[in-house]
Amino acid sequence: MNTTVTVALAIGGVVVLVAAVALRLADRLGLPSLLIYLGIGLAIGEAGLGVQFEDAELTQNLGVAALVIILAEGGLTTRWSDVRRAIGPGLTLATVGVAVSVGITAAITVWLLGATWGFALLLAAVIGSTDAAAVFAALRRLPLPRRLAAAIEAESGLNDAPAILLVTTLAAYLTDSDAAAWWLVVLQVVGQLVGGAVFGIAIGLAGAELLRRVALPLAGFYPLAMLALCVLAFSVATLAATSGIVAVYLAGVVLGNAALPHRSASIGFAEGMASLAQIGLFVLLGLLASPSRLLDALGPALVVGGALLLVARPISVVVSLAFFRWPGAQQAFVSWAGLRGAVPIVLATFPLTAGVPGAENIFDTVFVLVVVFTLVQGWSLPWVARRLRIAAPVTPRDVDVESAPLEQLDADLMQLTVPPGSRLHGVYLPELRLPEDAAVVLIVREGRAFVPDDTTRLMRGDQALLVSARRSRPEAERRLRAVSRAGRLASWRGEDGRATDLD
């Protein structure tokens, strides 16, 4: 075997293991994990172990690939029931918010740093979008109102496309390349968002139908198939000159909310792959950075970051959410929760590969800005939520339902876990009001298995097996989740579309 490949594999394995251990340490110290990964990259690089790496184009390509996996995982773990109430605010923040933020940040950069308008606009565009990985990791640990968290997550999943198009257009202007007029850029942004949404939803729906109808030979193929469908959505949308970034996120949302076999295992696999992608991406970005230049970028980074965090972001949020009449406290939290992470650093490689004058200064400034403000915002988000009094009471975890197909019976076998805090605790089986062709057939409690009857009550920590006709499985899952959240008096949407009460 090639020695170089063997050494590279060994180094990669060590880096992943070190990153996993460092993540545990970061959780205890309250540090954002991306800072640990960037630090590992810097430690391996020219100022540490002496590894020389200056390939911005390779970093850009691998960075986009990593973002595809991260956004796919974000979509797969997003509940449509939460997002549908926040898609309007999220989309407005991702488009109007980005435009307003870029304009204000650029104006302040010109005023305070004396930069040219072209350079200032490019720098502002690079940091204009929030980072999906940082947002998903931070917000899902906070007890926030569902609509608020969903709007911020939707923004982070959708705002990369406008930012990427804006950065590439400005880079073309600054290198005297052919660039479209500003109104054409606006039309391109709208067209790419709409086209990417169409491809993402279509491939997600087609893929969900395929996985429901085709029994794969191994359970391990389902996670691979779900992730492959998300990647396919990105590729098809990109080749069709639309937004692959939007497509992969929405394909993930569709697949993650579909009633598919082995859904929980598939999402767990996607979470692991997304973590691996984050580790590789941040380490690579740390390798590309030159520590000797970063100190000089500290002053500009603080000025630009302060302008973005304290002026541009709040104004863009107020403008974007004015129509939706959100409470002031929630708008203030959205302003503070605009986390920056890998996406701005990856976007900073676009001017490097395009040969834009001063591109190294942009990369260094963005790198320092991300490190400093991630540290500030990452630690302070829980405190800000408490001070603004928007932290929701700790809600019960959603019930975990796993399923496997029983092809010859045209049925599904489902595994139910009753988590701590679930209101399934104490509910008698008849009170679940499962469809007539669905039933709980076995319960495992404290290591002892037994067959339940109508007098059996579910308890915290129970694991139960349910068998359901395939046509009734979605209804059975809806009822289980409704009771888990609201108790035996919960309501859900029946087949006729009307709310039905459990009373």
Q: Do both 382 and 412 map to the same domain?
A: no
Q: Do both 378 and 447 map to the same domain?
A: no
Q: Do both 138 and 243 map to the same domain?
A: yes
Mean pLDDT to the nearest integer, 217-246? 86
Q: Is residue 164 part of a domain?
A: yes
Distances (CA, A) of 351 to 5, 87, 118, 163, 260: 31, 31, 12, 13, 42
Partners of 182 in beta bridges: none
Q: Do both 436 and 291 map to the same domain?
A: no
Model pLDDT, residue 132:
75
Q: Do both 101 and 144 map to the same domain?
A: yes
Q: Is residue 400 part of a domain?
A: no
Q: Token pair for residue 267?
A: 């999402």
CATH number at 422 reads 3.30.70.1450
Of the two residues 185 and 370, the one the predictor is more confident about is 370
Q: Looking at the predicted structure, is the pLDDT value of residue 24 above 70?
A: no
Q: Token pair for residue 168?
A: 């590439």
Q: Do both 292 and 423 map to the same domain?
A: no
What is the overall mean pLDDT for the chain?
81
φ, ψ for residue 491 (rounded to 5)?
A: -125, 160
Q: Do both 332 and 477 map to the same domain?
A: no
256-267 pLDDT, tens digit each:
888 777 777 777
The most confident of 38-42, 73-77, 211-215, by mean pLDDT: 73-77
Give the pLDDT band (50/70/90) at residue 123. Answer: very high
Q: In the listed set 357, 388, 419, which residue is the last one of a domain according to the structure?
A: 388
Q: Is residue 84 part of a domain?
A: yes
CATH number at 347 reads 1.20.1530.20
Q: Is residue 273 part of a domain?
A: yes
Round to whole Å and give the CA distance between 166 and 94. 13
Round to whole Å and give the CA distance between 119 and 109. 9
Q: Which residues contact 336 (CB under 8 A, 6 or more apart)?
A: 309, 377, 380, 381, 384
Partners of 468 in beta bridges: 412, 438
φ, ψ for residue 459 (rounded to 5)?
A: -130, 155
353-408 pLDDT, tens digit each:
888 888 889 999 998 998 888 888 877 888 888 888 887 554 444 555 556 666 56
- Looking at this protein, which amino acid is placed at residue 8? A
Q: Do both 99 and 219 map to the same domain?
A: yes
Q: Do both 7 and 143 map to the same domain?
A: no
Specify the 3-state DSSP secondary structure of 307: helix
Q: Is residue 493 part of a domain?
A: no
Q: Do both 269 and 139 map to the same domain?
A: yes
Q: Which residues contact 434 (CB under 8 A, 6 or more apart)?
A: 440, 466, 468, 476, 479, 480
Q: Do both 228 and 369 map to the same domain?
A: yes
User: Residue 1 belongs to what domain range?
Assistant: 1-30
Mean pLDDT to the nearest integer, 3-18? 73
Q: Is residue 348 part of a domain?
A: yes
128-143 pLDDT, tens digit each:
888 777 777 777 677 7
Q: Is residue 398 part of a domain?
A: no
Question: pTM value?
Answer: 0.74
188-205 pLDDT, tens digit each:
778 888 899 999 999 999
Q: How many domains does the chain have?
A: 3
Q: In the listed set 388, 421, 450, which residue is the last one of a domain according to the structure?
A: 388
Round to whole Å and give the CA distance between 220 and 222. 6
Round to whole Å and give the CA distance between 255 and 267. 10
Q: Do both 293 and 418 map to the same domain?
A: no
Partners of 449 in beta bridges: 444
Q: Is residue 375 part of a domain?
A: yes
Round to whole Å and give the CA distance between 467 and 441. 7
